[in-house]
Chain A
Amino acid sequence: MKKIYLLLPLLMLLGIGSLSAQRTISGTVTDDAGQAMIGATVLAKGTTAGKVTDVNGRFTLDVPAGADVLVVSYTGYLTQEVSIAGLQSISIVLQESPEVLTEIVVTGYSEIEAKKLISSVAVVGAKQLENIPMTDVNQLIQGRAAGVYTTANSGQPGAGQPVRIRGTGSINAGRGPLYVVDGIIVEQGDFTTLASGGTYNAPDVLAQMNPNDIETVTVLKDASATALYGSRGSNGVIVITTKRGKIGKTDINVKAQKGVTLPNFGNFELMTPEETWNYERQILANSGRTPDQIEASRPASMLDNTTDWVDEAFNKGHTSNLELQARGGNEKTRFFASAGIFDQQGTQYLSDFNRLSLRSNIDHYASDKLSFELNVNGSYSQSNNAVDGNRFQSPMALAFTTTPLQGKINPATGELYSGLEDDWIAFAGDNFLYSLPRNPVDVNTLRLISKLAGTYKILENLAFTQSMNVDFINVNESDYDAASTNDGFPFRGQLTNALNQNRALTSQSKLRYFTNFGQDHSFDALGVFEYQNIDFESYWAAGQGFASEKLRTLASAAEPQGVSGTKSEYAFVSWLGQANYSFKDRYMLTASLRRDGSSRFGANNRWANFWSVGGSWRISEEVFLQDVGFLSNLRLRASYGTSGNADIGNFVTQELYGFGAAYLNEPGSSPSQIGNPDLTWEKSKNLNVGLDFGILNNRVSGSVEYYDRRSEDLLLSVPVSSTSGFTTATQNVGKMKNSGVEVVLNLVPVKATRPDGFNWDLNFNISFNNNEILELPNGEDILNGRQIYRVGQPIRSIYIQEWAGVNPDNGTPQWLRADGTVTGTYSQAARSIVGNAEPTYIAGLNNTFSFKGFALSAFFYTAQGHQLYNASRPFIESDGLRFGWAHSRAALEGYWQNPGDNALRPQPRVGGNAGAANTSTRYMEDASFIRLRNVQLAYSLPSAWVRKAKLQGLTIYGQGQNLWTMTDYTGFDPEANENGDEFFRYPVGKAITFGIDVTF
C-alpha cells in the first residue's frame, strides 16, 4: 500500500503501465485557479498503474480491477485521493501545499520525503534565490537558513564569503562546508596563484555558478545527514540541486535585470582638507614646534590643491543580467537549459566581474529499466580585481589613508600625479587614480562541471547508478605594473602571468534498494563506492623592463624575472552505506556508515570509519492525538554520529625540504615542514534533537533544535619555539565544542481566502551558538594574532591590552596592568580576554505580503553580541603617529588639551603619543547590527491580460539590498571577516535593481 511512496518520482515513472488493464478512466487535473496541470502523477491506489498528465492536464489510465481510488500528486501540491467508483471520467483540482519546498529533501546521495526526515537540514528554495543580483550562492542563503553564519567581507564583485555552519568547528583546518552539486562533491574557493600572496581579492569559483539555475539549496547540519560525507562532512554540507526538465509544454523564460550599487561607508567619515590642515598644525604645536616650523611644514597653500580620495575611489556601480531559461520534455526525455550574461561593476574604481554561463540538464528514459542523466555546466568569467593593501596602487588602503591635502592633479602639468613626483607629499608614492588604469589585475576563469549518470533497474526495487563527474577549473591571471607607477618603477615595468588548472574527477557507483514487509513496514538501503582524484597544476612567469606601457606580453619584457610552477594531487576512496526503516510512517530509523581513505593523511592513519544513527517519531500520527484538531504536525527527531574534517594541506604528514630558496642563482633548500606520520582527520561527534510542529492547518509551523557538536583531534598548527627554526608544527590535539539552539517559525498571520486575496507570510529563524575550547596541547594557551585559544573560552576570544583612558595631567595614554593598576608604559600593560568575535545569535526575518498581482517582501538579518577589532582606526585615529596621512573625523573631538582634561583621546603629537595607537581595547567595538538585507516589490500582470499577449506570465519587480543598517560600529560595515579584525577593505554597497521576468 504505502510502498509506492518509497519510490522516487523517477522510479514511479518507470514503473508505470507494467500491469494489465481492467478498465479505463480519463480525466483532467487543474490547479485551484483552473489552470491545466502538466505532468501531474495519477496512480491507481494499491497498484503500480499510473500515468502523467499531458500538456492539457489530461490523462487516460487503465485501472486494474478492484482499484477504485486514484492518487494524484504534483510537487508543491497536496496529494489527493479521489474515489472513481463507477466513474468513466473525472476532474481533479489540486491545492497548493503549504510545505511547498520541503516535500522532497535532497541530501546529496539520496532524496527523502520531508515527513520522513530525521536529520537537521535547512532548505532554501528557488523562490528565495531567484533574481537577487548576487554572484555567490553563499550570499543568497545568508539569514535564510538557521544555523548558517556567513558574512560578506568584500564588495569586490565575485568575491567569495566564508560560511560557518553551527559555529566554527576547527582551528587550523578548513572551517567551511563541503559543496555538493547534483550529487557530486565539487570544488570551492580560490584557485589563483598570484592572489594567494594577498595582493588582490580573488574571485571564488562558486561565483561561476548562476544562482538562477538552482532549484534548491539544502544545508545539512547534523551527523545523520553529514556522516554520509565522512571525513569531509564535519563542517556541514551545502547540497545544491539545479533545475531539471519537466513533462509538458516547453516554458521559455526570459529574465532581464538592471541595477545600481551605491558605495556605503556606514558610520565611517574622514576629515575634510581644512580640518586635516588645522589638526596637523595643532599636532605640530603640541609637539613643541615653533610657529615658523609649523608654517614651513603646513603652509596655507596646502589647501589650494586638495582631493577627496574616498569620493574618487568609489562611484556608483552597475549590474545587469540577461538570461534565458527553457524547460520541458516528454515521458522519454526532459530538459532544462539556460544561458545567462551577468555583468557587475563594483563601486570601487575599476573593479568588475562578468560571467557567461550555460547549462543543460537532460534526463532520458531509454526503457523501463535504463535511464540517463547528463548535466553540462560551462561558465566563463572575467574580472578586474581590486588590489589589497600591500600594493601602492591599492585604493582599499590609499583611499582611506592618503592625505586630502594632496591634490590629484599636478598643477605643473595639468595631468594626474603619478605619485613619483618630488612634490607628491602623501606617504605612499602612488596616485591610484593614475596607476589603477595602467596596472590591471585580470582574472579569467573557465569552469566546466559535467556529469553523466546511468541508472539501471536490476529489479523492480533495486537500481544501480553509475556516475562520472568532472569539475574542471582553469584560472588565468595577469598582473601588470607599468613603469611609470610606483609598483612598476623599480622593475621598469613588470608583468606576471599565471595559469592554474584544477581537475577533480569523481566516479560514483550507487546501489539503491527498497522493500516493504506487510502493510506497515518499509525499508530502504543505499550503498555507494566513490573515488575522487583531484589534481592541481599551475605555473607562472614574470618579466621586467618594458620599453613602452603599451607592450603587455611577456615577449616584450627585457629580462625574465622568474618562472615557477607547482603541482599537487590528492585522492579519496570511500565506501558508504545507509539504511532506513519506517513503521506506519510514524516511527523512522536510519543508520549510516562510511569508510574513507585519503592521500592527505599519514601512512599510519590513512583510513577511518564514520557512522550515524537517528530516529524520528511523528507524534501527531498517534491515535491519542488524532482528536487534537488544531495540531497538524508534531514530530520529534534525534540523531547522533561522527564525521570528519580532512581539509588540510595535501602533504602535511611528511617531513619535507622545500626548494624555493636560491643563492648565487643556484638552488637552495630548506626544511619546509616538520613531519607527523600519525596525522589524521579531525573527528566530530554530533548530537541533534529537534521538534517540528504545525498548528492550525500549518498556519503556524516551525521547529526547535538543539545540537551539541564536539570536534576532537583538532588539527592544530601548534606554535613552537622559533629556536627550532620552525614556527608551528601540525598535530592532532585539542577538542572543541559547539552547542546551540535553532528556532524556525513560519506563520501565515493572514491567509488569503481567494488566490488573489491578501496574504501575509512570515518566516523567522534564530540561531544561538556557544563555542568552547575543551582541550589544548598541555593545556597551554595558543596566541593567534589579537586572539587566543584558551581552554574554557570560545575560539574567537579577543585577547588584547585593556585601555585605561588618558592621563588627565599630561594627556598621555594609559593601560591596565595585570593587577588592575594603571600604567603609562605600554609594554607593562597586560593582555586579557576582552571580547568575542562570534555573535551570540543570528536571526533572519522575512515578511511577504501579497495582494492581487502585488507581492512585497522585506528581509531583515541580524547578528548580535560580538566585537570587532577595528584595525583601521590605529591608522586614522593615531594621535599623530600617522602624521601626514588621512585622519578620521572622530579624531577631531575629545583630545587632551590642558592639564586636568578628562579627555577621550591622548594629545596628538608627531610620531604618536607614547604608543597610544598600539593594540588595545581602545579600538575594539561592539559589532551588533540589524540590516534590511533585501526588500522587494513585484507585480505580476493578471493572467487574462497576459494570455491576450500570448504569454504565460509577466512579472516586473524592483528590489534593494542592504538599504538600511542599524549599528553602533564606527567602521564601514559591521559584517566583517570572521577573524574579527576589520582592516581597510572594499566595503559592500547598497544595491537597487529593477527587473522583468517573462514566461512564454
Chain B
Amino acid sequence: MKNTRIIPLLCFILFMFSCSKELELNPFQSLSTGEALADLPSMKTAVFGAYDAIQSLGYYGREYLVMPETEANLVYLSIANSNRFIPSYTYLWIPADGDITDFWNLAYAAILRANNVINNIDALEGDAAEKNQIKGEALAIRALAHFDLVRFFAKQYTNGNPSTDLGVPIVLEASISEPPRNTVEQVYTQVIADLTTAKGLLRDEGIYRFSPNAVEALLARVYLYKGDWANAETAAGNVIGAGYELADDVVAMFAGPGSSEEIFTLRNEMSENRGSDNLGNIYIPAGYGDIRVTTDLMDLYEPGDSRANLIFQHTNGEFYQSKFIEQDGVVGLHSPKLLRVAEMYLIRAEARFRQNAADPDVLSDLNAIRLKRGATQMMSLPNGINDILAERHRELAFEGHTAFDYWRTGTKMVRQQCNTGLEVSGVCEIEANDFRTVHPIPQREMDVNQSMIQNDGY
C-alpha cells in the first residue's frame, strides 16, 4: 500500500515548520518587573508611578479630599445631586461602598509601587544623591498612604486606645498574603520612622515632589494627630522657619499651583483633565454642583476676611465655593496643595495650646494667618480649642481636614444648617466617638482576607 507511506512523510515535512519560535511573543507596552526596575531612570519612573496612584480620582484626585468635608458641617449635599457622596453626608456607610473600596485599593497600590522602589533600589549602581532622592520619595509616599489609611479606617490616635485599637495592615514588601491589622500605634510608629528616614535622604526638587521640608510638614501633621505636641511644635516650627510665606492674596493663591505658601502640591497637568470629574466640578454649578456651602461656615467669617471671597452666591440663592474652580483655563481642574504653611501655623498654635493654654505664641500663630487674610486680630481664646478649630475651618475649609479635626479632638460635629429643605436628609449631629466616624473595612477585603477584622458597628 504505497498510499500509507505518504502520510507519515507529509507529517514529517509539516513537522519541519516547527513554529515554537513563533510562540515566543512579548508585549509591546509593558516590561517585565526586572526590566522595569533595572536602573535609576526606571526607578524614577517607578516612583512617579507612585505619585500617579495618589493622584487618582479615588484618592487625592477627589474622593479623599471631599469625604472629610461632606461628613462635616461646612458644606451640604443638595437634594439636587448626581448621587455622589450620599453615604458620607448621611453617615449610612456600607462596607461595599465604592468610594471606600477605591481609596483602600489605591492607597495600597501606592504602597506597592513605593515598596518595589524602596526594596530594590539599594542594589543598583548610580549617583548616590539621585538614589537617595528616589528612595526618600518612595518612603514619603508609603508613609503618607499608611497615615491616610489609618486616620480613615481606625479610631483616632488621640481619641481611643492606640496600643490596642486596630489600625490597618502595615505593608513593607510586595507579597500576596492576607495580613492582619496592626494597631494604630504600630502604624504611627512606622509612618514616623519612614518619614524620619526620608528626611535624611531627600533634597529639594521643588514643591511638586517630596522635599525634606515636605516630609517635615507631614511629620508635623502626624505628630498633631498623635498628640505628640512637642514634636508637632518643633516640626511645624522648622517648616515655618524654612522660608515659606503666607500668600498675600488667598484668591490668587487658589487660581493655580506654585504660590509661596505651598510646601507640597500634587500637580495635575492639563492632560490630566478629568472633565466633569475634576475636583472642582463637584462644588460648582458649572459642574455637578452637588456640594454647597452652609451658613455654618458663612457665619464663621467676619466682614473683611478675604477667605470669604472664595465663596460665591449663585442665581439660585445658594452658596458655592470656588477654591478649586479652575486651573490653566480648565474648569474644575486643581492641583491640591496637600501641605501649605498656613496649616503649619495652625498645627503649631494647637500644639502650643495643648502644652500651655496660656502660651501667648498660640495667639501670635493664629494672628499671623488672620492678619494676612484681612481678619481682625484675635486677643483671646474664650472657647479654647474650639476657637483654634474654627480658625482651621476658616483657613482649611474644603481641603479634606474638617471631619478629621472633629474626631481627633473628640469634638461633637453639629450641623446648624440641617434638613432645611435644601439638603439631603442628613444627620444633624454626631459624637466624635460614634462608630460611624470610623469607616468600614471594604467588603471585598473582608471577603478575601481571613485575618481582617471589621470595625465595630458594621
Evaluate contact between B82 and A428: CB separation under 8 angstroms: yes
Evaluate contact between A662 and B52: CB separation under 8 angstroms: yes
| Whole-angstrom distance between the Cβ of A738 and the nearest chain B Cβ | 26
Chain B residues with CB under 8 Å of A798's CB are none
* Known contacts A513-B7, A571-B25; A723 and B32 CB within 8 A of each other: no
* Known contacts A287-B425, A288-B419, A659-B30; A725 and B330 CB within 8 A of each other: no
Evaluate contact between B425 and A910: CB separation under 8 angstroms: yes
| Whole-angstrom distance between the Cβ of A881 and the nearest chain B Cβ | 7
Contact flags A284-300 to B (C-beta < 8 A → 1, else 0): 10011100011011000
Chain A residues with CB under 8 Å of B25's CB are 569-571, 599, 650-651
Q: Can you name the residue of chain B whose Cβ is closest to the Cβ of A565?
A: B29
Q: Can you name the residue of chain A whose Cβ is closest to the Cβ of B288?
A: A429
* Known contacts A458-B6, A567-B29, A725-B108; A663 and B51 CB within 8 A of each other: yes
One of A297, A527, A664, A723 near B171 (C-beta < 8 A)? A723
One of B29, B32, B178, B289 near A655 (C-beta < 8 A)? B32
Q: Can you name the residue of chain A whose Cβ is closest to the Cβ of B175?
A: A724
- Determine whether B251 belongs to the interface, using a CB cutoff of 8 Å to chain A: no
Contact flags B419-442 to A (C-beta < 8 A → 1, else 0): 111001110000000000000101
Evaluate contact between A724 and B27: CB separation under 8 angstroms: no
| Whole-angstrom distance between the Cβ of A410 and the nearest chain B Cβ | 14
Q: Can you name the residue of chain A whose Cβ is closest to the Cβ of B87?
A: A915
Complexed CA–CA distance, A458 and B3 (Å): 9
Evaluate contact between A531 and B448: CB separation under 8 angstroms: no
Evaluate contact between A722 and B49: CB separation under 8 angstroms: no
Q: Which residues of B, 270-323, contact A by the 8 Å Cβ criterion?
A: 270-273, 275-276, 278, 281, 285-289, 314-316
Q: Which residues of A, 560-615, contact B by the 8 Å Cβ criterion?
A: 561-562, 566-571, 573, 575, 597-599, 606
Q: State how many residues of chain B have any CB contact under 8 Å with chain A.
A: 105
- Determine whether B367 belongs to the interface, using a CB cutoff of 8 Å to chain A: no
Contact flags B1-43 to A (C-beta < 8 A → 1, else 0): 0010011001100100101101111111111110111000010
Chain A residues with CB under 8 Å of B270's CB are 559
Identify the stretch in A190-198, A371-379, A670-678 within 8 Å (CB) of chain B at 4 or more residues. Answer: A670-678
Q: Can you name the residue of chain A whose Cβ is closest to the Cβ of B81?
A: A427
Identify the stretch in B92-100, B211-219, B405-413 within 8 Å (CB) of chain A at 4 or more residues. Answer: B92-100
Complexed CA–CA distance, A914 and B426 (Å): 11
Chain A interface, DSSP helix/strand/loop, else mixed: mixed
- Determine whether A882 belongs to the interface, using a CB cutoff of 8 Å to chain B: yes
Chain A residues with CB under 8 Å of B115's CB are 725
Contact flags A661-699 to B (C-beta < 8 A → 1, else 0): 111111111111011000000000000000000000000
Q: Can you name the residue of chain A whose Cβ is closest to the Cβ of B169?
A: A723
Chain A residues with CB under 8 Å of B269's CB are 662, 664-665
Complexed CA–CA distance, A143 and B307 (Å): 68
Complexed CA–CA distance, A491 and B274 (Å): 9
Chain A residues with CB under 8 Å of B36's CB are 656-657, 669
Contact flags B50-65 to A (C-beta < 8 A → 1, else 0): 1111010000000000
Q: Can you name the residue of chain A whose Cβ is closest to the Cβ of B20?
A: A597
Chain A residues with CB under 8 Å of B452's CB are 721
Q: Can you name the residue of chain A whose Cβ is closest to the Cβ of B52?
A: A661
* Known contacts A490-B276, A669-B36, A721-B178; A656 and B31 CB within 8 A of each other: yes
One of A293, A573, A672, A827 near B30 (C-beta < 8 A)? A672
Chain B residues with CB under 8 Å of A509's CB are 14
Q: Can you name the residue of chain B whose Cβ is closest to the Cβ of A781?
A: B447
Evaluate contact between B177 and A721: CB separation under 8 angstroms: yes
Evaluate contact between B49 and A489: CB separation under 8 angstroms: no
* Known contacts A422-B314, A668-B48; A719 and B444 CB within 8 A of each other: yes
Chain B residues with CB under 8 Å of A491's CB are 273, 275, 330
- Most A C-beta atoms less than 10 A away, residue of B112, B178, B285, B426: B112
Q: Which residues of B, 75-117, contact A by the 8 Å Cβ criterion?
A: 79-83, 86, 89-90, 92-96, 104-105, 108-109, 111-113, 115-116
Evaluate contact between A827 and B95: CB separation under 8 angstroms: yes
Q: Can you name the residue of chain A whose Cβ is closest to the Cβ of B333?
A: A490
Complexed CA–CA distance, A141 and B260 (Å): 69
Chain B residues with CB under 8 Å of A881's CB are 83, 86
* Known contacts A664-B48, A827-B94; A719 and B447 CB within 8 A of each other: yes
- Determine whether B123 belongs to the interface, using a CB cutoff of 8 Å to chain A: no
- Determine whether B200 belongs to the interface, using a CB cutoff of 8 Å to chain A: no
Chain B residues with CB under 8 Å of A598's CB are 23
| Whole-angstrom distance between the Cβ of A605 and the nearest chain B Cβ | 12
Evaluate contact between B109 and A725: CB separation under 8 angstroms: yes
Evaluate contact between A511 and B7: CB separation under 8 angstroms: yes
Complexed CA–CA distance, A669 and B447 (Å): 29
| Whole-angstrom distance between the Cβ of B12 and the nearest chain A Cβ | 11
Evaluate contact between A721 and B52: CB separation under 8 angstroms: no
Evaluate contact between B23 and A884: CB separation under 8 angstroms: no
Q: Which residues of B, 207-238, contact A by the 8 Å Cβ criterion?
A: 208-209
Evaluate contact between B48 and A533: CB separation under 8 angstroms: no
Evaluate contact between B23 and A606: CB separation under 8 angstroms: yes
Complexed CA–CA distance, A665 and B51 (Å): 12
Identify the stretch in A167-175, A459-467, A634-642, A966-974 within 8 Å (CB) of chain B at 4 or more residues. Answer: A459-467
- Determine whether B250 belongs to the interface, using a CB cutoff of 8 Å to chain A: no
Complexed CA–CA distance, A719 and B447 (Å): 9
Contact flags B144-181 to A (C-beta < 8 A → 1, else 0): 00000000000000000000000001010011111100
Chain B residues with CB under 8 Å of A663's CB are 48-49, 51-52, 55, 267
Evaluate contact between B458 and A827: CB separation under 8 angstroms: yes
Evaluate contact between B440 and A668: CB separation under 8 angstroms: no
- Most B C-beta atoms less than 10 A away, residue of A664, A675, A783: A664
Chain B residues with CB under 8 Å of A651's CB are 25-27, 30
Chain A residues with CB under 8 Å of B14's CB are 509, 529, 575
Contact flags B100-143 to A (C-beta < 8 A → 1, else 0): 00001100110111011000000000000000000000000000
| Whole-angstrom distance between the Cβ of B55 and the nearest chain A Cβ | 7
Complexed CA–CA distance, A204 and B93 (Å): 40
| Whole-angstrom distance between the Cβ of B159 and the nearest chain A Cβ | 22
Complexed CA–CA distance, A675 and B3 (Å): 49
- Determine whether A918 belongs to the interface, using a CB cutoff of 8 Å to chain B: yes
Chain B residues with CB under 8 Å of A724's CB are 108, 112, 171, 174-177
Chain A residues with CB under 8 Å of B285's CB are 422
Evaluate contact between A722 and B23: CB separation under 8 angstroms: no
- Determine whether B380 belongs to the interface, using a CB cutoff of 8 Å to chain A: no
- Determine whether A84 belongs to the interface, using a CB cutoff of 8 Å to chain B: no
- Determine whether A654 belongs to the interface, using a CB cutoff of 8 Å to chain B: yes
Complexed CA–CA distance, A571 and B81 (Å): 50
* Known contacts A486-B276, A663-B51; A599 and B3 CB within 8 A of each other: no
Chain A residues with CB under 8 Å of B6's CB are 458-459, 462
Evaluate contact between A727 and B83: CB separation under 8 angstroms: no
One of A294, A719, A725, A780 near B112 (C-beta < 8 A)? A725
- Determine whether A425 belongs to the interface, using a CB cutoff of 8 Å to chain B: yes
| Whole-angstrom distance between the Cβ of A458 and the nearest chain B Cβ | 7
* Known contacts A567-B29, A656-B33, A722-B444; A668 and B22 CB within 8 A of each other: no
Q: Which residues of A, 809-829, contact B by the 8 Å Cβ criterion?
A: 826-827
Chain A residues with CB under 8 Å of B243's CB are none
Complexed CA–CA distance, A910 and B86 (Å): 11
- Determine whether B449 belongs to the interface, using a CB cutoff of 8 Å to chain A: yes
Evaluate contact between B29 and A658: CB separation under 8 angstroms: yes
| Whole-angstrom distance between the Cβ of B60 and the nearest chain A Cβ | 12
Residues of B with Cβ closer than 8 Å to A? 3, 6-7, 10-11, 14, 17, 19-20, 22-33, 35-37, 42, 44-46, 48-53, 55, 79-83, 86, 89-90, 92-96, 104-105, 108-109, 111-113, 115-116, 169, 171, 174-179, 208-209, 267, 269-273, 275-276, 278, 281, 285-289, 314-316, 330-332, 419-421, 424-426, 440, 442-445, 447-449, 452, 457-458
Known: A422-B314, A719-B444, A724-B174. 7 other contacts (CB 8 A): A288-B419, A297-B421, A571-B22, A721-B452, A723-B449, A783-B443, A911-B426
For the complex of A and B, 6 pairs with smallest distance between CB atoms: A725-B112, A657-B36, A668-B49, A661-B52, A911-B425, A668-B48
- Jot down 5 A-B pairs with beta carbons below 8 A, ordered by A: A294-B421, A428-B82, A599-B22, A662-B52, A669-B36
